[in-house]
Amino acid sequence: MCGIIGYIGEKKASPILINGLLCLEYRGYDSAGIATLEKDGITVKKDKGRVKNLYNLEGIDSLEGTVGIAHTRWATHGKPSMENAHPHLDNSSTFAVVHNGIIENYSELRDFLTEKGYHFLSQTDTEVIPNLIHYYFSQDSKKDDDQLLRAVKSTCDDLKGSYAIEVISPLFPDRIIVVRKDSPLVIGTCKKENHIASDIPAVLAFTKNFYLLNDQEYAVVYKNRIRFFDASLVEHTKAINNIEWDAAAAEKDGFEDYMLKEIYEQPNAIRETIGSRFRLGEKCSFDDINLTKEYLSSLDKIYFVACGTAMHAGLIAKNVVEKLCRIPCEVEVASEFRYRDPIIDEKTLCIFISQSGETADTIAALKLAKQKGCKTLTITNVIGSSITREADYTIYTHAGPEIAVASTKAYTSQIVLLIILAMHFAEILNSYPEEKIEKLKADILDIPSKIETILDNVDEIKAFAKKVYTQKDMFFLGRGMDYAVSMEGSLKLKEISYIHSEAYAAGELKHGPIALIENGVTVIGVITDPKLVEKSISNMQEIITRGAYTLVVTNQVLPNVHFNSVINIPETDPLLSSLLSIVPLQCLSYYISKNKGLDVDKPRNLAKSVTVE
């Protein structure tokens, strides 16, 4: 859950490294540091706190080195402090290392090294790495050009857990050695310089040409070439990926925060996700997966497995797939699924949803499903991310880079893609009337402009946010898919406003939660399903009678009930309404957080990619 950057070229490395870290701060932001190769060896500058603090560190401006590594941290082992910040050095200050991931057997390795006379300055798991490199380097009698690479490899052979590592040393001043396992790492390449990063947007300003490292693949990165090696250090060549993302798309573009920008990007993100998946009058096209009628008819279950917001997209998908394909679906959070011995086999299709494609629990759940004989399909936004290398099939959302920790456009793009996938399955299975699918397609094409209409009218939401931002608790209510949207609305609010909130299926209210309703408590209702309007209204009446302060998001004509605020959204097919009803809830969380003066994009204790269990 940390971010790493590396630079080797002809320019001063330090400003490039710090800028890169600023782009990766969403991955972790409790401490930061850089190490560059200077004339007299390695210089490390690091401290606790945000990346921007690095600018104030003494001597940072006088760094001249053109080779360097950098890190922004989300603490796992050892509290945020200067000592625990990366980069870490070995005891002789010959090797500097940054690391993203977790070394599970670090305490065993520490004992081993301590016995050999090494000592440790931090509480981190990472500090064993530079010292192990030193240990193996000094054990190696073959003093050739690959001695450092071999020492890094021997070190990695000892590590259990996940890592993306960069290593520099004044003994080999012309290179950075990198390797990854279950943590992301990309190398952006351009003329006379190479950039290393945890994700693509961090170096998009320099290049669109990337090498995506595989698990346990090593790279020796020089300023004008890169050598690649497999886990046994057999050298090989590697293809470049050309990434079409726009560098401006990863910047704020005049918006105050990434989250707001990403909320407003939803219409275009959805247009991109639809892409050429379907045209009116034609069948949906998924050339990237090959699931036959025979296979789909043999399924007795589809599982959607994911975490957080991505899991909430799965809840919507369950409803749509069951309706269109009549295949029973289950939705489960990955951290539960993977430890539960789920009943799945070759008759289960497992669909894994992950914006980042790096979520540790989701990847582990996918590996488990494969072991049990299921076909695995992943839906992700990040090209070449770890999950894509594990799954049988990958389909991309094409929502563009999502930087804010709170997911918005990834969620709506995931839902759109899942709905198109459901239509594709229904077309193969002939399980839903053709004309109804055709109508659904037309309605999907209208969704982006309907979201634009909602986003052009946010004054009511802003006003409501101003009235309730000091509240301690809030409740979200809905039935059916409106309940799934309520769960996502509630998660958004918790994440960025730190207000406690709960989402309930409106029909459950009387079975307990209504005891919490008293004068002035804020309750937000989502009412879009025409079949359930009356039921939902009755539930809202019950809480109004008990003094609740209410907001309703709806596209229905509601009976004459006094709500404190009503947000009217455009009508659409009930299967699609989550794509519209979530938008005011995203905005509500955003404006509540702004009213509280909080850091919307980097909420406390959270990170964008949860690459640890």
Residues with a known catalytic role: 2, 608
* Rounded least distance, CB 489 to ligand M6R, Å: 11
Candidates 449, 397, 437; CA nearest to 279 is: 437
The verdict on 355 binding ligand M6R (CB under 6 A) reads yes
List Cβ neighbours of 111 (8 Å cut-off, separation of 6 or more).
none
The verdict on 13 binding ligand M6R (CB under 6 A) reads no
The verdict on 359 binding ligand M6R (CB under 6 A) reads yes
CB closer to ligand M6R out of 378 and 572: 378
Amino acid at 194: N
The one segment of 217-225, 257-265, 402-410, 474-482 that binds ligand M6R by CB under 6 A: 402-410
CB closer to ligand M6R out of 30 and 495: 495
The verdict on 309 binding ligand M6R (CB under 6 A) reads yes
d(CA 69, CA 37): 9
What angle separates helix 578-595 from helix 409-429, to the nearest 10 degrees? 170
Pairing label, strands 549-554, 565-568: parallel
The one segment of 85-93, 109-117, 190-198, 306-314 that binds ligand M6R by CB under 6 A: 306-314
d(CA 186, CA 207): 12
Q: Is the dihedral of CA 514, 516, 517, 522 positive or negative?
A: negative
Candidates 59, 69, 77; CA nearest to 32 is: 69
CB-facing half-sphere around the CA of 533: CA atoms within 13 A: 13
* Rounded least distance, CB 360 to ligand M6R, Å: 9
CB closer to ligand M6R out of 156 and 387: 387
* Contact predicate 352/324, CB 8 Å: no
Distance of CA 68 to the CA centre of its chain: 26
d(CA 508, CA 489): 18
* Rounded least distance, CB 334 to ligand M6R, Å: 8
* Rounded least distance, CB 610 to ligand M6R, Å: 5
The verdict on 362 binding ligand M6R (CB under 6 A) reads yes
Token readout for 503 is 């989402």
* Rounded least distance, CB 437 to ligand M6R, Å: 28
CB closer to ligand M6R out of 97 and 610: 610
* Rounded least distance, CB 583 to ligand M6R, Å: 15
d(CA 604, CA 598): 9
CB closer to ligand M6R out of 428 and 524: 524
The verdict on 402 binding ligand M6R (CB under 6 A) reads no
The verdict on 263 binding ligand M6R (CB under 6 A) reads no
* Contact predicate 577/536, CB 8 Å: no
CB closer to ligand M6R out of 321 and 405: 405
d(CA 447, CA 449): 6
The verdict on 407 binding ligand M6R (CB under 6 A) reads yes
Interface with ligand M6R (CB under 6 A), residue from 405, 465, 526, 548: 405
According to DSSP, the residues that pair with 552 across neighbouring strands are 525, 566
* Rounded least distance, CB 605 to ligand M6R, Å: 11
The verdict on 517 binding ligand M6R (CB under 6 A) reads no
The verdict on 610 binding ligand M6R (CB under 6 A) reads yes
The verdict on 308 binding ligand M6R (CB under 6 A) reads yes
The one segment of 7-15, 213-221, 234-242, 348-356 that binds ligand M6R by CB under 6 A: 348-356
The conformational region for residue 520 under phi > 0 = left, psi -120 to 50 = alpha, else beta, is left
CB closer to ligand M6R out of 84 and 356: 356
Token readout for 461 is 């939401």
Interface with ligand M6R (CB under 6 A), residue from 383, 406, 503, 506: 406
Kindly tell me the burial class for residue 31, based on how many C-beta atoms sit within 10 Å of its own C-beta (0-12, 13-18, 19 or more): buried
* Rounded least distance, CB 362 to ligand M6R, Å: 5
The one segment of 135-143, 314-322, 405-413, 455-463 that binds ligand M6R by CB under 6 A: 405-413
The one segment of 95-103, 264-272, 302-310, 512-520 that binds ligand M6R by CB under 6 A: 302-310
* Rounded least distance, CB 193 to ligand M6R, Å: 30
The verdict on 495 binding ligand M6R (CB under 6 A) reads yes
CB closer to ligand M6R out of 100 and 407: 407
CB closer to ligand M6R out of 84 and 378: 378
CB closer to ligand M6R out of 194 and 381: 381
Render the burial of 346-383: b for 16+ CB within 10 Å, e for the rest: eebbbbbbbbbbbbbbbbbbbebbeeeebbbbbbbbbb
* Contact predicate 155/133, CB 8 Å: yes
Residues in region 457-476 near ligand M6R by CB under 6 A: none
Residues in region 207-236 near ligand M6R by CB under 6 A: none
Interface with ligand M6R (CB under 6 A), residue from 75, 179, 259, 310: 310
* Rounded least distance, CB 599 to ligand M6R, Å: 14
d(CA 577, CA 572): 6
* Contact predicate 392/402, CB 8 Å: no
Token readout for 510 is 């009387």
d(CA 503, CA 484): 9
Amino acid at 59: G
Q: Which residue is nearest to ligand M6R (CB)?
A: 308
d(CA 451, CA 443): 12
CB closer to ligand M6R out of 84 and 376: 376
The verdict on 365 binding ligand M6R (CB under 6 A) reads no
Interface with ligand M6R (CB under 6 A), residue from 43, 100, 356, 556: 356
Kindly tell me the burial class for residue 62, based on how many C-beta atoms sit within 10 Å of its own C-beta (0-12, 13-18, 19 or more): exposed
Q: With helix as H, strand as E and coil as C, how does 399-451 read?
A: CCCCCCCCCCHHHHHHHHHHHHHHHHHHHHHCCCCHHHHHHHHHHHHHHHHHH
* Rounded least distance, CB 366 to ligand M6R, Å: 11
List Cβ neighbours of 140 (8 Å cut-off, separation of 6 or more).
147, 150, 151
Chain contacts with ligand M6R (rule: CB under 6 A): 307-310, 354-356, 359, 362, 405-407, 495, 609-610
